[in-house]
Structure 1
C-alpha cells in the first residue's frame, strides 16, 4: 500500500481560495472608498465630542454629536449606494467564484478517485501475491505428502519394509 494518506475534503488547504483576506480587504476598500471615509469621520466626531466634554464646552460637544450623526448617516447611505452600484459585479464575482470552486472540487474529486483506484490496484496485486504464495505452499505440501506416501507405501529404503522403518529412512534422508 502507498504511504501517502487519502485525500480529503477537509484538507484545510490555504491555497484553495483565490484571494486572501488582505487582498479582499484592499479590493473592497478600492471598490467602496466612501465607507471607510464615513467610519473615519464618525470616529473623528466622537473624539472631538469626548475632548469637548472633558474641556467643559457643551456647545462644541453638541455640535460634534450632530456631526457624528451626520457621519453615520453618510456611512449608511454610502453602504446602500455602494451595495446597489456593485450588486451586478458582486453577482458576477459570486458566479465566478462558484465556478472556480466547482472546478476545484471536481479536480479534488478526480484526484481522490485516482488515488482510490491506485490503492485498489495495489490491494488486488497484494491479494494475488498472497494467493499465489498460498498455492505454491499448498503444492509443496501436497508433493511432500505424495512423496511421503509413496515411500511409505513402497517400503523403499528399509530392510524390513515396515512403516516405521520407512519413516525412519525418510527422517535420516535416504530418499
Structure 2
C-alpha cells in the first residue's frame, strides 16, 4: 500500500493496458483475417497497375497496356464491392462485438471503481490509525 503522502493517484485512474499491449501488426492481421477479400482486391489492383506501368515503359504493346488498365479498374471495383459486401455481411458480428466490448468495459470500470473505493477506505483507516497513534504518543 502506498504511503499517505504518496502523490500517486489511485489505481482506478490508470489506462487500459490491453489498448497499449495490442500492436499495429496484431490489429492488421486481425483485420486481414476478418475480411480477406479486401487485401486480395488491393493486391490485384497493385499488380495490374504495376504491369501497366511496365508495359508503358516498354512502349511496344499498347493493347496490353490498355488491358492492364481495364484489369486495374475491375480489381478496384472488386475491392469496393468487397468493402460494401463485407460491411453488410459483418454488420451483425460488429454490433455483437461492440456490445460485448461495451459490457466488458463497464465491468472493468466497475471493478476499478471498487478497487478505488477499497484503496480510499484503506487510506482512511491508515490515516485514523496514525491519528490514534499520535494521540497515544501525546498522552505519554
Superposed CA RMSD in Å reads 2.4
Q: Given the alignment of the two structures, is residue 92 of structure 1 paired with residue 96 of structure 2, yes or no? A: yes
Q: Given the alignment of the two structures, is residue 42 of structure 1 paired with residue 45 of structure 2, yes or no? A: yes
So what's the TM-score if we normalise by structure 1? Answer: 0.67
Q: Which structure would you say has the larger Rg?
A: 1
Task: Give CA deviations for 1:83-131 in whole Å, capped at 9, x if unaligned.
Answer: 1011011100100011011111111111111111101110111122222
Structure 1 residue 15 displacement after superposition: 3.5
Per the alignment, do residues 77 and 29 of structure 1 end up closer, same or farther by CA in structure 2, a change over 3 Å counting? same
Match of 2:70 in 1: 66
Structure 1 residue 46 displacement after superposition: 1.0
Instruction: Work out which of the residue numbers 5, 26, 51 in structure 1 matches 2:29.
Output: 26
Q: Given the alignment of the two structures, is residue 103 of structure 1 paired with residue 107 of structure 2, yes or no? A: yes
Q: Given the alignment of the two structures, is residue 54 of structure 1 paired with residue 57 of structure 2, yes or no? A: yes
Matches within 5 A, 1:124-143: 124-134=128-138, 136=139
Unaligned stretches of 5+ residues in structure 2: none
Structure 1 residue 66 displacement after superposition: 1.5
Unaligned stretches of 5+ residues in structure 1: 138-175
Match of 1:170 in 2: none
**Aligned residues between the structures:** 135
Aligned counterparts of 1:93 and 1:18: Cα–Cα separation in 2: 19
Structure 1 residue 53 displacement after superposition: 1.1
Aligned counterparts of 1:124 and 1:16: Cα–Cα separation in 2: 38
Per the alignment, do residues 80 and 33 of structure 1 end up closer, same or farther by CA in structure 2, a change over 3 Å counting? same
Q: Which one scores higher on RCO, CA 8 angstroms, separation ≥ 6?
A: 2
Aligned counterparts of 1:114 and 1:16: Cα–Cα separation in 2: 25
